[in-house]
A and B are shown apart, each in its own frame.
Chain A
Amino acid sequence: MGVGEVLSRRAFLGRAAVGAFGLLTLPACGPGGPGHGVGPGALDVWVWQDAADKVQQAAVDRFNASGAGRARLNRVPGDGYEDKLRVAIGSSKAPDVFFNWGGASVKEYADAGELLDLTPMLQADTAFGKAFLPSVLQAGMVGDRYYGIPMRGTQPVLVFYNKAVFADAGVSPPETWDDVTALIAIFTEQGVTPFALAGADAWAELMWLEYLVDRFGGPGVFERVKNGDVRGWRDPAVLRAAKAVVDLIERGAFGHSFSAVGYNAGGASALLSRGRAAMQLMGSWEYANQLAADPEFARGRLGWTTFPTVTDGRGDPDAVVGNPNNFWSVTAGVRDPEAAFAFLRTAAEDAYAADLVGQGAVPTTTDAASFLDRSADPAFARFQYDLVQRASTFTVSWDQALPSAQATGMLTLIRKLFAAQLAPAELVEALTALPRG
């Protein structure tokens, strides 16, 4: 943390606690104070805990064996990841290197001077910068400075489906919105939930709006909002998308109990793999999770396709929504920046890309294509790679692209829309009125 900030925080604490408890006399934690990281010379690396974090563990192991430095991986449970991070950054327990969702998600940290600007390092080591797809590397920027290095696979949101269920019904995956409505009628008739939806997690519900708005109105609609113009919400595409969501719910597209189904608790994915649901709209990590939970299903009966096209929409049918990638960022308090840079370079190594591919992920390194055949499922890897290559735009998940106050308010409103507590028109009004934090 910056010295100025330390002083101000101490001053504020002193004021607030009326100085009565000697807080003023306590040493404040400065950059690199004891307790930063995990011991002398070891980098504290935080990663989101899930089935795919084996890849980062292997990278840490290789890094430690290489002698370039020492690192320890801290696997933080997903549900509390962001609050943990906020709480830790600026404390004596800040990580040195941490996982995030790119520029928009770390903007507040960068603005507060808590992050290390990686631009000089990328300028000094041009080969390293060229190892990544430029569009993805840009997603790790705040303003015109680089703050993140892509470190996982790209995560477009896709429609996953259960091949067995489709075969039984004698139908094929949806390509247009008309197909979707037809399939909903067929599956509900058969007692199968058309789309598994992890309605207990607002971000899973959000994916539907993200895609529908993109298909109806193109990427410009959300772009406006992201750039601070809340009138972007008033674009007719938003209202139309909200109405489409309500229509889906009323047709029984998500069944009747989706609000009690979570994603992390495995509910939605289990519905899909057990054939109780026919499809699920989910990020490409669904593949890795299914592979971990039920390898036989993942390799044999799990299918995938793109989000359907809509009639008279302004959006490009090839446009993609999701997370271009996740990124490593480095905190300003890192004691050994050189070691941190050495660790970041592991993200461009062939072994790392090969591991990612083995997990069913598609790395965003420029030579990723050469690895795809080694994938656990080359067809899935190839499909994702082509999709992202072909995509005219890759819109970042809304909740990651907006300031946290606005994102949290938006997720609450989306919960309400899906629970029929809010009509589409009310949603639009409420979205424009959100605090921007």
Chain B
Amino acid sequence: MSSGRPGRAVPRDAGTRLRTGRPGALWAVPALGFFALFALAPLAIVAYLSFTSWNGLGAPEWVGWANWSRLLSDRDVREAAWHSLLLTVGTWAFQTPAALLLGVWSAGRGRHRAVLSAVFLLPLLLSSAAVALVWKSLLDPNFGLVAEVAPVLGFDDASWFSTPEGAFSALLFVLGWQFIPFHALLYQGAARQVPEVLHQAAALDGAGRARRFWSITLPQLRNTVVASSVLMVVGSLTFFDTVLILTGGGPGTSTTVVPLLVYRNGFEGFEMGYASAIAFALVLVSTAVSLLLVRLTGFGRMSATSARDGL
């Protein structure tokens, strides 16, 4: 990941004078130190703890690879990993098209669009806990909104949300309700930057609106799609509070995702060593996934202008 415009392109004779204008690497040290202390050091400790047995009291006891071999044979971990994967894929498939359409639509001109965009932003202002609590009460099968709506839609009652598929769909929907506005905002910003000239030219060629969306807007938004997808994927691998509050991982364990499993093992079962092993595995996987995305798409080099260089 080289920087966009390497400074070494500056002519040599100007070099000595210009170097005075350049910040030294020291400028990055405070941020690095802070990040190392509160994010990387804890990660190192997690790596260490994953080789110990510790209940949160007294000193951790070294147990070698025991946690790791248990992790590999643990059906609950496999199941939670599968749920995390499903949630990630489902989130992407649901949120990206919806956010794209909303964003591109609201980038258009018009008074009503501005008002509606403001309405769409509402969920963005609620904390995850608030969103989950609101939907928990709306989806309450006995006293909630769904209890009232279900008969209208031709269901006997609202017990569908208590099935594994129903609970999972509810989770996908609520996460979408909460995060689609954010991604739509990204797309709106990017869509506004698409040069009007391109649209006019295409219109002259007789391209309809749909055609222009596919052949002009979408390619221009390519980078935003990448950025938003990276955030979505990494986010959905690490969702936690929404799941905890909304479904508690149930019914049974049918919506238990990996982060919730870490919480259960670590803060309910107090198997801090084993929880650390699961947590570290999660970090490895999500890092690999995000690096892969970054590598494949050149996200690291991205900037608003290189977006137009077609990378």
Contacts and interface: CB of A to CB of B under 8 A. Distances in A.
A and B touch in the complex (CB under 8 A): yes
A265 interface: yes
Contacts of A404: 55, 268-270
A17 to B, nearest CB: 5
Contacts of A215: none
B271 A405 contact: yes
B interface majority secondary structure:
loop
Contact of B162 (A90, A259, A435): A259
A437 B271 contact: yes
B159 interface: yes
Interface in B255-272: 264-265, 267-271
B60 A421 contact: no
A94 B182 CA distance: 40
Contact of A435 (B49, B56, B140, B271): B271
Interface stretch (B85-93, B112-120, B244-252): B244-252
Contact of B253 (A5, A258, A421, A435): A421
B57 A108 contact: yes
Interface in B131-151: 136-137, 139-143
A105 to B, nearest CB: 12
B209 to A, nearest CB: 43
A186 interface: no
Interface stretch (B10-18, B40-48, B226-234, B286-294): B40-48
A108 B139 CA distance: 39
B123 interface: no
Nearest to B45: A16
- Name A's interface SS: helix
B221 to A, nearest CB: 38
Nearest to B156: A256
Interface in B57-113: 57-60, 76
A194 to B, nearest CB: 15
B264 A412 contact: yes
Given A16-B48, A16-B49, A86-B267, A256 B142 contact: no
A87 interface: yes
Interface stretch (A7-15, A143-151, A158-166, A357-365): A7-15
Interface in B182-231: none
A22 to B, nearest CB: 9
A328 to B, nearest CB: 20
A343 B214 CA distance: 74
Contacts of B36: 20-21
B250 A419 contact: yes
B252 A437 contact: no
Given A419-B251, A421-B254, A5 B59 contact: yes
Contact of A109 (B57, B59, B251): B57
A267 B136 CA distance: 11
B48 A15 contact: yes
Nearest to B144: A260
Contacts of A114: 57
Nearest to A9: B59
A191 B173 CA distance: 30
A108 B271 CA distance: 12
A255 interface: yes
A256 B157 contact: yes
A177 B140 CA distance: 31
Nearest to B38: A21
B161 A418 contact: no
A408 B265 contact: yes
A8 B268 contact: no
Contacts of A15: 48
B122 interface: no
Of the listed residues B55, B60, B268, B271, the one surrounded by the most CB atoms of chain A closer than 10 A to its CB is B268
9 contacts: A8-B59, A16-B48, A21-B37, A199-B162, A257-B157, A267-B142, A405-B271, A419-B253, A421-B254
Given A18-B44, A270-B142, 20 more contacts: A12-B59, A108-B57, A200-B248, A256-B157, A257-B141, A257-B142, A257-B157, A259-B167, A259-B252, A261-B140, A405-B271, A408-B265, A408-B268, A408-B269, A411-B268, A415-B250, A419-B251, A419-B252, A421-B253, A421-B254
